[in-house]
Amino acid sequence: MLAGAAALGVATGSAPAVQAQGLTEAQYQRLKSEVKKELAEEGGTDLKVKWKGAPELSSSDGKFKFKVRGRLNVDYNGIDQDEAITGDPDVSAVELRRARIGVEGVVFSDVGYKFEIDFAGDGASVKDAYIEYSGLPFDITVGNFKPYNSLEEMMSANYLTFMERAAFIEAFGLDRLIGAGLSYDQNKHWTLSAGVFATTPESDQVTFYEDGTTFSSRLTVAPINEERRVVHLGASVRQRDAAGEPRDGVTENLFRYRARGADLHLADRFIETPYIGESDTFWGLEGAVVWGSFSIQGEYSQNKVDVASSIANVSPTYDGWYIDASYFLTGETRPYKDGVFGRVKVNNPVFDGGGWGAWQIAGRYDVLDLSDQAAAIAAGGVVSCAACGEQKTWLVGVNWYLNDYTRLMLNVNQSEIAGGINDGAEVTGVGMRAQIDW
């Protein structure tokens, strides 16, 4: 033991330690190599630690990795909901929009995993919870994760330009589901993904006797994918059937379509359909350009709904789209990889040398139309489509990135409602967020 300790002292020591043992430089280097080898065989140097917002532990051979991950979004929403028309009072409230904790890692090189729970709101809900095998030219994913649709939906909320996603994403039910998927992203210029999923979310798996089925697929192409220069094009499709008979005999098993006013999470919904869809088919187109600090992005989507025959013999087509533009005043850019945009690298963090952080200004125009064949649906006499209308939303935002993992957000939004019982309403809101992730 003492000899080993002395050897270790020599192998990791300084020139005086070498001289004290009477070793030549060649003998010292040979002894140092032997000691490191012995320690590695005993597991003494098997652990590596990196810091990526939180400690990432890994084995020296890279076959095993483990990291604790999480995020916290603290929001304020102040919303004028045009009570004279809508009947809904103003909102002035705070919330924990997201409060997540989880783990991710790698087991035996090719098997990855991710598990995350959100404690925001009144209870806990499972978010990403999947196993991924990457030992083939394509990845195989099984568990609870996002079906392959829409650029904004596929992106992490940590990297969105605005506080909330575009209205059509909520309205058309794009969210995590339990299923299995194949994805190819080994080429920097294109990706291809496809999967089959349940129709009901993880939280509703005990509600129905039988899951519906959802198929989704997405293709992206980036003819230009360089540092600070990106051209992104994409398309996706989804087909889903409603779940089977509910266990309680009361729960509705058809789809409905709705979105919140002013693109703020605490706003009420001023356009919405009843539960009407027994199946639907979604398709969407994507485009984005990054040129240095400037970025422009947009999506267009349609959702054709097969209304249950017991309600009406119609098939309305709902559509949603947005276009936005943003610019970093401090010179940063939006990083792009595998068909999505990722974490912004801040040039001069606030708490590292007293920098100003990164400042980004942005604007968006967001449209959702749920008015198609509203009169025909109501004429069936089974449900009312009184709130089936159109919503157009203007947004202006400012983002201050203190560092790569922390930012403050300010959104000023206004929605104009057309059609239905809320026709002519103007819903105006201010949203603020303090965000950190690790």
Examine the domain organization and report whether 79 and 41 are in the same domain: no
Considering the entire predicted model, what is its pTM? 0.87
Mean pLDDT calculated for residue range 296-303: 98
For residue range 131-187, what is the model confidence (pLDDT) as tens digits?
A: 999 999 999 999 999 999 999 999 999 999 999 999 999 999 999 999 999 999 999
For residue range 311-321, what is the model confidence (pLDDT) as tens digits?
A: 999 999 999 99
For the ranges 1-10, 84-93, 109-118, 387-396, the lowest mean pLDDT is seen at 1-10
Mean pLDDT calculated for residue range 195-205: 90
Examine the domain organization and report whether 5 and 74 are in the same domain: no
Examine the domain organization and report whether 24 and 76 are in the same domain: no
Examine the domain organization and report whether 41 and 119 are in the same domain: no
Spatial neighbors of 306 by CB under 8 A, at least 6 apart, are: 277, 278, 279, 280, 315
What's the CA gap between 134 and 59, in Å, rounded?
18
Higher pLDDT pick, 38 / 178: 178
Examine the domain organization and report whether 11 and 88 are in the same domain: no
Examine the domain organization and report whether 57 and 177 are in the same domain: yes
CATH of the domain at 93: 2.40.160.10
Tell me what pLDDT residue 62 has: 85
Three-class SS of residue 231?
strand
How many other CB atoms sit within 10 Å of the CB of residue 312? 20
Examine the domain organization and report whether 307 and 429 are in the same domain: yes
Examine the domain organization and report whether 33 and 65 are in the same domain: no
Examine the domain organization and report whether 40 and 156 are in the same domain: no
Question: Please, is 89 exposed, middle or buried when counting C-beta atoms within 10 Å of its C-beta (0-12, 13-18, 19+)?
Answer: exposed
Tell me what pLDDT residue 7 has: 43
Tell me what pLDDT residue 40 has: 57
Mean pLDDT across the chain: 91
Examine the domain organization and report whether 84 and 119 are in the same domain: yes
Tell me what pLDDT residue 17 has: 45
Placement of tokens 């294109």 in the chain: 190
What's the CA gap between 76 and 143, in Å, rounded?
33
Residue 4 confidence (pLDDT) above 60: no
Domain region containing 379? 46-437
What's the CA gap between 192 and 194, in Å, rounded?
7
Which helix (H) or strand (E) segment holds residue 128: the answer is: strand 125-133
Q: Are 133 and 139 in contact (CB under 8 A)?
A: yes
**In total, how many domains does the chain have?**
2
Q: Are 127 and 116 in contact (CB under 8 A)?
A: yes
Examine the domain organization and report whether 22 and 50 are in the same domain: no
**Which CA distances in Å does 362 have to 163, 235, 262, 412?**
12, 24, 16, 11
Tell me what pLDDT residue 318 has: 98
Backbone angles phi and psi of 271, in degrees to 5: -130, 130
Examine the domain organization and report whether 188 and 299 are in the same domain: yes
* Confidence bin at 55 (pLDDT 50/70/90): confident
